[in-house]
A and B are shown apart, each in its own frame.
Chain A
Amino acid sequence: MSKAKTVHIAGKDEAGRVSSRILEERIQEAVRGGACNLEITAFGQHGIGGRIFQPQGKPVSVQITGSPGQRTGSMGSPGTTIEIHGPASDDIGWLNAGAEIVVHGYATNGACNAMAQGKVWVGGNIGSRGMTMTKYNPRFAHPELWVLGSAGDYFAEFMAGGIAVICGHEAQDPTNVLGYRPCVGMVGGRIFFRGPVHGYSQADAKLVPISDEDWTWLSENMVLFLGRIKRKRLLKRLTVREEWQCIVARTPMEKVGGKRRSMAQFHGEVWDKELGRGGLIGDLTTLDRSPIPLITTGNLRRYVPIWEHRKYLAPCQSACPTGMPVQERWRLIREGKVDEAVDVALAFTPFPASICGYLCPHLCMQGCTKNVAGNLQPVDISFLGKKGVSSKPPKLPELSGTRVAVIGGGPAGISVAWQLRLKGHDTWVYDLEKVLGGKMATAIPEQRIPKEVLDAEIDRVRQVLPHVHLQQNLTHKEFEQLKADFDYVVIATGAQKPRTIPIPGAERIIPALTFLKNAKLDNQPVGKRLVVIGAGNVGCDVATEAHRLGAEEITLIDIQEPASFGEERKEAERAGAIFRYPCFTREITAEGVVLTTGEVIPADTVVISIGDLPDLGFLPETIATDRGFVLVNENNQTADPQVFAIGDIVKPGLLTDAIGAGRRAAKVIDEMAAGKRPLVDTAWLKDYSIEYSETSERIDYSRMTLEYYDPRITEYNDMEHCASQCSSCGSCMDCGLCDAVCPTAAIERKDLGNGKYERIPNPDKCIGCGFCGRCCPCGVWALMENTPMG
């Protein structure tokens, strides 16, 4: 077959329309047969002219007349030239892989969809979705679409490569040559266009200036295009450079970020502009609302640590009725001021050795944080107390002129007299007994308080109080005389009248007080068997003494579980005493104690120890009483304001209660004398370097950190050991733990001179974590919520 031979293939034959499949078979057959020039009279067949692979690789020309169907030239191959002599239907050049297609007329929708190579020249307008999904494969040249007129809607959607040239000549819509919403999703390629447009997807594409190189390409290829579509005479009109524009796809980098205003800009330029300075509520508040970090300092901290040094009472001091500042004394020891630590006790009690060292059940130790909150051994005050036996009498101030009579030379009386004398008031003491010291001297067994200790302390009292009148049995009249002679009278006669029970044989019973007094003078026969009715601590003392005096079987009976405790109980148990309860006594016979059960507890001696009552016989009626005790107000003042009452005559208590009451009454009297009630004056403590307060509350036990103390320590060797193991509750001991623990090194220790100092957290560094408070053995740091804002 000659090269120039043209093969005609008709889309319609005698049988009617040739189906697309048959027409395609005929075209392929012709090409396989070597045909290079095909003329096809189309009759709506699909996909004409595509997929032509000439065996010798020669170019193939396909001339189409009539009406080609959709997808003419689809999957077109390189070397194929298709010329449609009239308009083209949808999807012209679909998935074109290299064919050159000329359309002498318009093309409808979908022109060049998915075209990757080749060229499509359209001598009119195109419909919608032209040049969509086009590609550029770097192995080949860019695909090209040339349109003489305009593009329809949704042009260049998802265009990914290639070049489109829209000349805008006799556009279907002269006001918009690219149609509605072109370039959506465009990622590659370029579009040259001439004429107005109604925008394009700014997010995907952008206008760029036409470079000289572009222009050269465009104008040169325009010649070719116009030649193909046979409209050469338009060349001049279509090559006015200023009329052309170019759209290219944005790169992925250019798509990042939008044209949107930033929120900061919006805030300033729109929001605050409309609302006013400070935004939404700028008119209602001046509070700074700018952002802050999670961890803040200064005023922005949620919590602030406060160094509450000596704001609260240590539990030991708080527990002690005498008000002894125990932890301060341990501090003095730690500071090496042993004498001072021992002697300062005299400011609080005339009997530091007798009571703190021996007789007291040590409420300070019971209340000690280590005992209450830590299950640890409390520091042992008796070491300090015992040392007090050798303390010299304190220096006495000159007499003020105020004179006070104290009736009763027991612990309460001596305490009030001692304190009053320390404050400079002339105090006279009257007592019934032969010796000074009350029950301490006359009734409490020597086993519990060595005679030489008590004697030494009584001697010291005598040095401070020269006017002691013993064996003075006061009457009504004498009491009135005392009132006349003195500015104030303090009644401290204690409880001397034994309580007893009205049962048959009661006359056989010896009151405990009588027993103990006699026993102390070794003047009490006891026999082998002794029964004590009432198993409290006094009963225990009776048992101990009876044992010393030769009793062998000692039984203490009580109607309820015995209330005895401490040393007294232990001593009685060591003496072999048996405790029995509940036992109710019916009568006392020569055999012993007969219980209501009929049982007889054999006894040679029966002692009753169910408490003592005050003897109020000498008091005038102006002194009010209640159920056998003198009635006082919170200042220990009786109904007669000139008369005070303290000790067991007011309410039965411990020795330390009596000492404390004496101290408090002395303070009140002192202040009344000075006319300055209710001021607190502790000036008399100035000789000692301790700080003292009675007005504050006890520190909360949970504030102290006790992990530093060894639970295996169950006894102490000496004062120094005790001092080292005191947690110094409520008072900073300057250990420096908080300074070291603070994560921001915010705690600053400021020296105030005279050995004083304070700790202040630097607000610029402190973050309010509360570490300081939780490492502090003394519990001086409190973490407070910061002052509310806003």
Chain B
Amino acid sequence: MPANTAITPSTLSQRDLPWQIDWDIHTCTLCGRCTAVCPVNAIEFGTFRKRTLFTPPLGLSDNRSQGLQHKPSSSSSIYYGIRQRTDPAYACIGCAMCNMVCPNNAIRPLKSESTDLLRFHRDRGGQPRTRGGRRNSDDSVLDQIKFMRISMLTDPALDAGRHEFELRTLIGRVLPPAEALKTQREKGWMPPVREIYPLMIGSMSFGALSPNMWEGLQMGVAYLNEELGMPVRMCTGEGGCPPRLLRSRFMKYVILQIASGYFGWDEIVHAIPHMKEDPCAVEIKYGQGAKPGDGGLLQWHKVNQLIAAIRGVPPGVSLPSPPTHQTKYSIEEAVAKMIQSMSMAWGFRVPVYPKISASSTSLAVLNNLTRNPYAAGLAIDGEDGGTGAAYNVSMNHMGHPIASNLRDCYLNLVKLGKQNELPIIAGGGTGKNGNLAANAAALIMLGASAVQIGKYVMQAASGCLGSEGDRCNICNIGRCPKGITSQDPRLYRRLDPEQVAERVVDMYVGFDTELKKIVAPLGRSTSLPIGMSDALGIADRSAAERLQIKYVV
């Protein structure tokens, strides 16, 4: 900074920032790519002045009888390079796109090893920090869970490689056998049930995601269904659904979400008579794990022509999704009337289930659903869920971990004898450290009928740079360097939908193998080991006790 510039409380040095740019003058070619690609303008070209001093040797000459041989002198030269900006508004986010484009590996962000001071200055103008991404915590109970009931000459040990598997799950209200038979006999209403793959792509809206990302995911899902016979389903998130998709046969791979903003739903209603297929299900969003009890606002400048068309609004208006549905007065009313309305839309042929943030109130919702014949399940999103935009404080400090919440709910169903009747879909931080299959299997054995993933898909299918170490995490500002969460064609065209689709397929096929590698040694192949908690162990006595699984050391 200039020597005579006044400092302010928010004047920070590079040392104070969480990410510090390490630039190498020797290998830099000054090609300009790093500054051109930086999503937040954290780096810029720098003109530097370097002064060199020349001190002659001591000695006797030039008529100088003592001291230096000549007069000392100094000279200055200019050099150029890359400078990191220290203004909090332009702090480096550690995405490392600079490194990615650097031909000589001359630049990279390094994570500060000490506590950064930037965190105390991210509320300028009184606006607390908001961000996209993650909770920034590596902790994961799911990662600690081991599958330790391996069939060793006991049950038929299955070979994941050659054995035939039917890893499917049911979404929908499953009637107990006697009731089912009676219904059949009396030609009564049989609740719709879908047999689907137990790993679902959770709700990420068209708008939160870029068009190329969203299309890539949908294409990958369609491929899995039609080329590989894997009945994978994806939830739209709140933001409507492109009209063409609504009217295509791919609709059956889609779970439509309705949330407090009801965006795009009039378009969906208009499309109903033209639908070739019913949607897989309808998810009613009451909450999400990343920001429980908080809503969102898609800012007006992000509502471009395309988003507006899909959401059924004029461009350039802000779109609020309030924390609550405006007509929600009690669990009974909200759940009953919403489920009934959504079921009615497709003649009670489509399963309808609510999605809530994991919370100590989850049990109340669940108990209510058990008494509602139309409720097709309950999706619970744990505190580790990701988000496109949330207040820091919501993301980091609000919510309930999924493991114990799911466990409580499942055991409650067991108590009611309804554990095979009302599926629980769990999500929130599954695979956050890369252990997708292990985490998903743990959730299933704790009682989940299916698992929803979001962040993992972003990372695996599109190369999201976010991490639990607060890297990147700018999903909320429309500048996603990978084009995943941006509506700017200059950014989202970095993403090829075909390649996203291909990665979705790779991810699922790989996951499928891993899941088999877990369930086969447990002797399961044709039915998902839902609630098979005797297979689980953990080296944490309190966690073992809380989850009612084995304590193993």
Contact = CB atoms under 8 A, between A and B. Distances in A.
Question: Do chains A and B stick together as partners?
Answer: yes
Interface of A: 157-158, 181, 184-185, 260-261, 263-264, 266-267, 270-271, 274-276, 279-285, 287-296, 300-303, 372-375, 705-708, 710, 712, 741-744, 767-771, 773-775, 786, 788-790
A706 B132 CA distance: 38
Contacts of B49: 707-708
Contacts of B309: 284
B32 A767 contact: yes
A333 to B, nearest CB: 23
Given A292-B493, A294-B494, A281 B222 contact: no
Contacts of A767: 32-33, 36
Interface string B52-73: 0000000000000000000000
A289 B489 contact: yes
Q: Which of A302, A708, A712 has the most CB of B within 10 A?
A: A302
B493 A770 contact: no
B497 A279 contact: yes
A275 B244 contact: yes
A266 B219 contact: yes
In the A-B complex, the 4 residue pairs with the smallest Cβ-Cβ separation, listed nearest first, are: A769-B32, A774-B45, A743-B32, A707-B49
B4 interface: yes
Interface residues of B, number: 68
A790 B219 contact: no
Contacts of A771: 30, 32, 35, 45
B47 A280 contact: no
A372 B5 CA distance: 8
B305 A280 contact: no
B306 A769 contact: no
B495 interface: yes
Nearest to B214: A280
21 contacts: A263-B219, A264-B498, A267-B501, A270-B222, A274-B250, A275-B248, A281-B211, A283-B244, A284-B310, A288-B493, A290-B493, A291-B495, A294-B100, A302-B490, A705-B47, A768-B36, A769-B33, A771-B30, A774-B47, A790-B305, A790-B487
Contacts of B501: 263, 266-267
B508 interface: no
B489 A274 contact: no
B294 interface: no
Q: Which of A280, A293, A301, A775 has the most CB of B within 10 A?
A: A280
Interface in B2-60: 2-5, 29-33, 35-37, 44-49
Contacts of B164: 181
Contact of B78 (A157, A285, A708, A744): A708
A281 B244 contact: yes
Contacts of B214: 280
A303 to B, nearest CB: 7
A469 B315 CA distance: 70
Contacts of B488: 788-790
Interface in B239-258: 242-245, 248-250
Contacts of B243: 283-284
B2 A289 contact: no
Given A267-B219, A280-B245, A775-B80, 18 more contacts: A263-B501, A266-B226, A271-B222, A280-B214, A281-B242, A281-B310, A284-B310, A285-B306, A290-B493, A292-B494, A293-B494, A296-B490, A303-B36, A708-B47, A710-B76, A743-B30, A769-B32, A774-B47
Contacts of B505: 263
A786 B490 contact: yes
Contacts of B186: none
A212 to B, nearest CB: 34
Nearest to A709: B49
A782 B387 CA distance: 35
Contacts of A774: 44-47, 83
A24 B215 CA distance: 69
B468 to A, nearest CB: 25
Q: Which of B46, B219, B488 has the most CB of A within 10 A?
A: B219
Given A705-B47, A771-B35, A157 B244 contact: no
A787 to B, nearest CB: 10
A724 to B, nearest CB: 15
Nearest to A267: B498
Given A263-B502, A289-B493, A375 B244 contact: no
Contacts of A710: 76
Interface in B469-492: 487-492
B494 A770 contact: no
A374 B4 CA distance: 7
A692 B356 CA distance: 66
B161 interface: yes
A735 to B, nearest CB: 12
Interface of B: 2-5, 29-33, 35-37, 44-49, 74, 76, 78, 80, 83, 97, 100-101, 161-162, 164, 211-212, 214-215, 218-219, 222-223, 226-228, 242-245, 248-250, 304-306, 309-310, 487-499, 501-502, 505
Given A284-B310, A287-B489, A707-B49, A770 B219 contact: no
Given A303-B36, A767-B36, A790 B304 contact: yes
Contacts of A292: 490, 493-494
A749 to B, nearest CB: 19
Nearest to A742: B32
A374 B2 contact: yes
Contacts of B30: 741, 743, 771
B163 to A, nearest CB: 9
B45 A741 contact: yes
Contacts of B101: 294-295
A266 B227 contact: yes
A782 B199 CA distance: 50
A282 B497 CA distance: 14
B490 A261 contact: no
A285 B305 contact: yes
A742 B33 CA distance: 11
A373 B306 CA distance: 45
B522 to A, nearest CB: 21
A260 B36 CA distance: 39
A790 B489 contact: yes
Nearest to A746: B32
A684 B419 CA distance: 93
Given A271-B222, A280-B214, A294 B97 contact: yes
B465 to A, nearest CB: 13
A705 B49 CA distance: 11
Q: Which of A281, A283, A285, A774 has the most CB of B within 10 A?
A: A281
Nearest to B501: A263
A276 B243 CA distance: 11
B162 A295 contact: no
B251 to A, nearest CB: 10
Contact of B45 (A261, A706, A770): A770
B36 A302 contact: yes
B489 A789 contact: yes
Contacts of A705: 47
Contacts of A157: 162
A26 B4 CA distance: 106
Nearest to A259: B227
Contacts of A742: 32
Given A184-B162, A771-B45, A261 B227 contact: yes
A289 to B, nearest CB: 6
Contact of A707 (B5, B78, B162): B78
B418 to A, nearest CB: 37
Contact of A291 (B36, B211, B496): B496
A280 B45 contact: no
Contacts of B44: 770, 774
Nearest to B210: A289
B553 to A, nearest CB: 37
A382 B430 CA distance: 73
Contacts of B2: 373-375, 706
Contact of A280 (B31, B32, B36, B242): B242
B50 to A, nearest CB: 9
